[in-house]
Amino acid sequence: MTDPILSEVVAFPRGARGTRPDDLSDIELLHRISTALIGEHDTDLLYGRIVDAAVAITGSQFGTMQRLTSEDDPSGRVGELQLLAHRGLPPEAVGFWAWVKPSAVSSCTEALGLGDRAVIPDFEAWDRIAGTEDLEAFRRTGIRSAQTTPLRSRNGVLLGMISTHWSHAHTPSDRDLRLLDIVARQAADLLERTIAEEALRRSEEQSRLLAREAEHRTKNLLSTVLATVHLSSAETPQDLKEVIAGRIQALADVNALFIESRWAGADARLIVTQELAPYGDADGGRVTQTGDAVMLTPDAAQALAVALHELATNAVKYGAFSTETGRIAVDWAMTDERRLRVSWTETGGPATRPPTRRGFGTRVMQGIIATRGGTLDFKWRPEGLRCDFLLPI
């Protein structure tokens, strides 16, 4: 099938174009090219049509269109030029230039550095490229010269590049560059629209994922709250109300951290700081905490928050926080098995001894940690309680 853009150019031989004072032949050529572009709706084919137009206008043997990757690009190759469409390149060259880093030496990276069009009339005479792998690639492909025109959005943002390459030393004419600028404008508009549509699709997909995750986490949170209520007990209704309120508040606080991380989880350090903040600062006060930043899954974060809340509540009633001289140290670290080891150590409070029966706070801790695949160990020492637990993160 004959390419519609190439057909239009064939109808306007290069020697006959641009000879009239008002350049009506060039205007008509661009009109026909634009009509051919409007008739195509497949984005990849449109990229190819634009490269066809650039190649045809400049009389080159090769052409490429590239996209400049932004910071939020899912490829992770920030600042590199991604090949979108090409003409005339053999497979080896396509692989070599599929991604072009800013450190490479070519007309497109020259234009990237300049922020403007770059014309290389003869790669063999360009001192900067001498002795590089890039020059060898051009030689293997049969490319001797090139021009690259930046593609900018309507508000000036650099989106990509369109390049044409010749098999011989060549400097494009002013007329060719003027027509190429018009095609580049069309290419930039197309690329800007494509980028916006892709960003919208990613945003919509992320919103769907977040909605599903929020639904799952909400059900999980409500189940945890329900279990907490069932495991709570007190001597009076008012005491029971306070117990339940405290446990639910611990879950609410860690849930706020999930929202900040967009449900990725919560940092163990933030959870420890948040739960122990009412009892003293971590800089020489009654609480010391030691550990690195460790991102926990929502399930593990909830378990840690509830466990710390129960331990702190017990310390206020019977342990280190029940005296003016008591102190608590919390330290945590990651094990080789990807589990979070947490140690809670009380000193300076009343002497402790093993309880005669398992309290409701202990049952809450054991329940929430065990259901998440963790372990819990209490040591009732004369100098104060020590509690160690492990949580899969």
Q: What is the pLDDT of residues 80-118, one digit of tens each?
A: 999 999 999 999 999 999 999 999 999 999 999 999 999
Annotate 331-379 with DSSP letters as a single string.
EEEE-TTSEEEEEEEEESS------SS--HHHHHHHHHHHTTT-EEEEE
Which pLDDT does position 134 carry in this prediction?
97
28-32, 47-51, 258-262 — most confident range: 47-51
Return the minimum-mean-pLDDT range out of 77-91, 143-157, 207-221, 275-289: 207-221
How does residue 76 score in pLDDT terms, banded at 50, 70 and 90?
confident
CB 320 within 8 A of CB 327: yes
Task: Count other C-beta atoms under 10 Å from residue 231's C-beta.
Answer: 19
Which pLDDT does position 366 carry in this prediction?
81
How does residue 21 score in pLDDT terms, banded at 50, 70 and 90?
very low
The SS3 assignment for 132 reads coil
Taking only the tens place, the pLDDT of each residue in 159-200 is 999 999 999 999 999 999 999 998 898 888 888 888 787 777
Identify which of 345, 355, 356, 354 has the alpha carbon closest to the alpha carbon of residue 383: 345
Which pLDDT does position 186 carry in this prediction?
84
Which residue type sits at 153?
S
The mean pLDDT of the chain is 81
- The mean pLDDT value for 319-333 works out to 91
- The mean pLDDT value for 273-300 works out to 81
On the question of pLDDT at 1 being above 50, the answer is: no
Return the minimum-mean-pLDDT range out of 33-42, 43-52, 217-226, 382-391: 33-42
- The mean pLDDT value for 209-222 works out to 69
Torsion 39-43-48-51 (CA) sign? positive
Which residue type sits at 152?
R
Which pLDDT does position 205 carry in this prediction?
76
On the question of pLDDT at 30 being above 80, the answer is: no
Identify which of 51, 50, 25, 56 has the alpha carbon closest to the alpha carbon of residue 38: 50
Which pLDDT does position 6 carry in this prediction?
43
pTM, two decimals, is: 0.52
On the question of pLDDT at 60 being above 60, the answer is: yes
According to DSSP, residue 220 is labeled H
- How far, in Å, are 101, 205, 299 from residue 266 at the CA level? 35, 23, 10
- The mean pLDDT value for 131-149 works out to 97
d(CA 146, CA 143): 8
Kindly state the tokens that stand for 26: 């060039």
On the question of pLDDT at 294 being above 70, the answer is: yes
Identify which of 149, 145, 179, 183 has the alpha carbon closest to the alpha carbon of residue 163: 149
Query: CA neighbours within 13 Å on the CB side: how many for 84?
Result: 29
